[in-house]
Amino acid sequence: MTLSKPSTKDPMPSPDDPLCTVEDRLYVSRALDLARYATEHGGEPFGALLFCEGEVIAEYSNCVRSTGDITKHAECGLISAFSPKIDRDKFLKCTLYTSTEPCAMCCGAIYCSGIGRVVYGTGQGPLLEIFGEPVRPNPLRSREILARISPHTRVFGPLMEAEGIALHKEYWPGRSTLGSIPSDPSS
């Protein structure tokens, strides 16, 4: 087994997606606030909110560590908690804002809910760099997953990636991540 060591260098943030709006920036900023909230309440630095017809109708912060439920990512948790209250027709009109690019599991939940638009903050590449994971030559990104399984869902991002990188760099050193084991901080 190879141990992954957290990166000591800062990943280079990508430029903001030029198709994102000022409103998108406002709500990605709120998703980052929800990610900070998660870290202060036993979760990992991921947050999501659902915006529909001019208002925020749902917010959720990652609670994987505090609940022990590995499916409580911000996006999956939000969709699970609010799907009994929101029908698919309404989900289709919504934008899901996330602090970090949705993983494959969360893309499945996005597909099942019928969400029409996703805007994410930090991409998976910088996050994997922070984890110390090797660079993947052909990473499977949320945009590609959703284009294949949910062609009506439009995906935008990254947006405000530097802010997200700073949040993850602050949180992850010395903590375990999925698929990696942190280096011993005493060595």
DSSP assignment letter at 177: B
CA distance 26 to 29: 5
Which of 133, 181, 175, 158 lies closest to 44, judged by CA?
175
| Given the residues 75, 129, 133, 161, the one annotated as active site | 75
Scanning the structure block, which residue is given the tokens 């805007």?
119
Q: Are 112 and 154 in contact (CB under 8 A)?
A: no
DSSP-assigned letters across all residues of 156-179: E---SHHHHHHHHHHH-TTS-BTT
Start-to-end CA span in the chain (Å): 19
Please say if 144 is a catalytic residue.
no
Active site residues: 75
